[in-house]
Chains A and B, each alone.
Chain A
């Protein structure tokens, strides 16, 4: 398979599997796990197919630009480090899928489980195969999200939800910090391409931003890899099903931070700052995790803290900035993945077969579940670092490396602390095996029901334990070339020569190792006493601390919101207007220059002055009579009419036509709404408040009016309109420049606008269609008619007149529509005119009569209008022109003469349909509500009359 295709397939496979599983989620467990296993196995086969080439030194890469502006390429790369991690992710993934198939009951939501698991696998693969650090961040966030789904899989359990939330908060928060660090890294290096960054270590370490960048990236890694003080999320993530824990905490999620440290080792490591921070954090985590693990009773709790400790070990090794330490880290990553996954699965088996995970209730299980006992004991021995297992070799190497590192100038600090931590590791590993499988059973009930599971469940851990054993017996044959080549990739150079073996002769490391085993065994022997001492001590509860911190943050944010954003429209509007007025005033006062410009004014005719006076009077009347609501509507329509006249006067016939028809529709709308709203409500605002608002209003009026005046008395600054005038006829094929602008020059704007209008229409439907339910429905049913009505519901003259009018108006509408390209008119105006004709039918003949005769619904009109407009625009793409390019031609039609046909006309049809649909939607819905209320009222009146009659 070609390299690019192979890499893409590798990353896409898990996501594809997740999608398929999600689609088939109603099918059985076998399909889900089968798909997941197939996806993992296929990926693993691909990895194995290229393993030889990659270990041999080939770096396979592929890249396509994604968002080139910010340097984000979709580039994938596979080098030995990526290969090893991809192999772990897919290999352990496959084993976990097999284990999970038998672990989960068939009535669980296995579709959701395996889909999330595959999603997570894809995200992890993305991290380790990304060739661009920004792309890596995308996958990094995706692991946080998908692990949230996995940890919270049993969503009916509070601890699962809390654990998932905590993991998301910590790792997701760390991810945000990491983004900042990575962006800094890319900025310093001048590229976001991983290969380029790795070559520019010198530039990066010389940058003054290096310390900031380093700390940010380290926080990202430490949160993900559960390093102190961010470790507390990991034990709580144990609320996840055991297969998830086995996957997340052995080879994947928590290794992502370690991976990133290893990946960026050539550019980050080597400085004093790096060594001190990473080594000490790793050391503290290793010691603390091992100490706590010794005293946990929950099997998974022990494993959780042992994981924290082992991760600390890895981080510490990478922190040494020594090449051999990096080699040891690589080897230990392999070892840890093998024995830890096996241990988690064993814990799952014990839980599954005995019904408890509390080590204090178990014991002597070796007799009843011998296979599990062998598997888990060997894995625990590997974790303890006992020969002849793989864990022994890497622990030996680790101890040897500590001798070369002095922290804070103290040469014995690291070796001594590391030996203590190793001692504790021996103790908790031995305790796990001994207390669980040997000695006498502590409680009869779990012991009585315990037995070995079917082969399906123990096969996976057994396979891993065989690997862990072989890693100790034949390390060079099994892992030598891989470790050597991966270490080379981490270091960025050829790795130092490697001699993995159990026996290196008598040296200091061996002595430390022996001491660790001896003292560890001693600790286990005296465990009961130690436990009493441990429990007598006071311990910081990280979860309570976390909850308190979150609670405090929540309270403070609430306070801030209340202080800045009170839930009062009046206050918010006042603040907004006040700020705008202040800005205008500030600009006017500090901008300099004069208010009045040099452009000569045009004398106003007497008619104009009278119209102006009417407008002023009507506005004042609207404000003064605001509580007599029907009266206000009349004043409002006066204003609308005068504005229409102004448009006529100032050479804007299209605007005048639009304004007058919108005016009619708006007044109808307000009338219909007012029918149900209070007509003359009492005064609400206090007098000082009214004065305050009036003051602000006058300020605003002066500001905006002044701005208008300043603008009108100056000449325009080289407007672009001349282009529209020059090209309207020759380019757009129409003489009405306004219409050509709408459907051609700026058709994209118009498209957006009709979509907005369509959305408004649909939103109105959504708001009104559900009014009959709940509190609104109850109010509507008890609505009392509070207006005198004509006794004749449908006056005959009115009905007849509107019915005769309808075809006439339709003809006018078509005329206005067709001539729109050359004369005032067009889709907008025609739609409004036609809408008014139909609304008149609703008014005159009632909702039911009209609605029953309606052929096409408003939804259909809006949708088809938008689609027609879009299709017209897309049509031009077919001819190789830009989106929404119009085309036109003149055709000779017999009898009619020359006729122009333009694609813009099609676009205008779309506009027509949307505007018509949206207007009808708003008004027809509203009138239906009114009708419903009126009918309810009539029924009440009737009921009362019947009730009053004896």
Chain B
């Protein structure tokens, strides 16, 4: 990590990975996030679901400041979020993100995609960065495609590269923003398998997804959001079997009903 003043305060197991308190955000007049309180422990796996427009993507995008919030506090790995660019970049180095549409860099090969940030942000020597990137590509089972361009890969392969690219920064927490929503059905499994492995290795994960099977197998906690609020937050057992809120029941009925 860098030599800046904000080292995570004595990384004890007790300090949460991400703390969000009284978070509020507006798009113009539209109140997207209302009084969000959320604490994510180290190694915790959280699945966030909810109807579209409920603010779930916006919430995780606030954690690495792809969206600016107007009220409340976010602390990531002991570093409080401010509007200071240096601080934001410092936080982003600890937070990996995987997008719905992969967002690989089409003008760079798979390997170059993975090495870009280690070389330019972490200032690693190219050799070392490539070696480490190949290990991660091996882990997502795509090392044999390392010298191809993203446009030559299938959606599932691209998303696995995107996961490897985020891991190359050795993040402390991974954010997944609907990672399987843009995939053809037959490719969803290969991406989920990689995510499940990652979860078993103890990575802290916040995952916006509608893959309820994934939530059941790996999540420590499932969060249901509606109209910018956290409506329900419970371990998967409780969440699926005895949801407290009627809105959660309705939502679960809709997505599990068929």
Partners in one complex: no
